[in-house]
């Protein structure tokens, strides 16, 4: 099943819908019937990598537009990518993945942290939330 993101005049995704499989690979930039703008999006693409069953696919030609579109994402014409909303003002766009990254790496991947924008740092969640 092909998926398509409907864009508003600013390039922001307002809805994502399934399309016909025969429309896959076609650009429906402007729907002739309604005049609305659509861009195809790849359901299994995250950060420019296409996944099958949770693992990177052997065929990466299926990865396009960097990320599966979501409501509020912005379609960037120059990058040909869907970019999620910026979570915090200090976060930076990774040009390769078109995903936002904190200016400071998470200290330990085995624990759960949350971002504090005021101090631009990570804080460990309480022990009861780290099990």
Instruction: Read off the pLDDT of residues 20-68 as tens digits, 9 standing for 90 and up.
Output: 665 555 555 556 566 788 898 999 999 999 999 999 999 998 888 999 9
State whether 67 and 10 are in the same domain.
yes
Work out how many domains the chain is built from and give that number.
2
Question: Could you give the CA distance from residue 57 to residue 129 in angstroms, rounded to a whole number?
Answer: 33
Q: Which residue range is the domain that position 33 belongs to?
A: 1-85
Total-model pTM: 0.83
Asked if 64 and 56 count as a contact pair (C-beta separation under 8 A), the reply is no
Where a domain ends, among 85, 103, 123?
85
State whether 19 and 75 are in the same domain.
yes
State whether 110 and 54 are in the same domain.
no
State whether 71 and 102 are in the same domain.
no
State whether 66 and 32 are in the same domain.
yes
φ/ψ of 112, rounded to 5, equals -105, 125
């Amino acid at each position: 099943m092909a998926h398509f993101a409907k864009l508003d005049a600013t390039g922001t995704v307002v809805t994502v819908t399934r399309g016909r499989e025969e429309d896959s690979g076609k650009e429906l930039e402007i729907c002739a019937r309604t005049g609305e703008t659509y861009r195809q999006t790849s359901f299994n693409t995250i950060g420019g990598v296409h996944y099958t069953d949770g693992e990177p696919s052997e065929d990466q030609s299926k990865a396009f537009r960097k990320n599966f579109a979501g409501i509020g994402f912005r379609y960037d014409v120059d990058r040909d990518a869907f970019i999620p909303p910026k979570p915090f003002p200090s976060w930076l766009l990774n040009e390769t993945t078109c995903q936002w990254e904190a200016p400071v790496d998470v200290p330990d991947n085995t624990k759960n942290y949350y971002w504090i924008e005021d101090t631009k740092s990570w804080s460990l969640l309480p022990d009861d939330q780290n099990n």
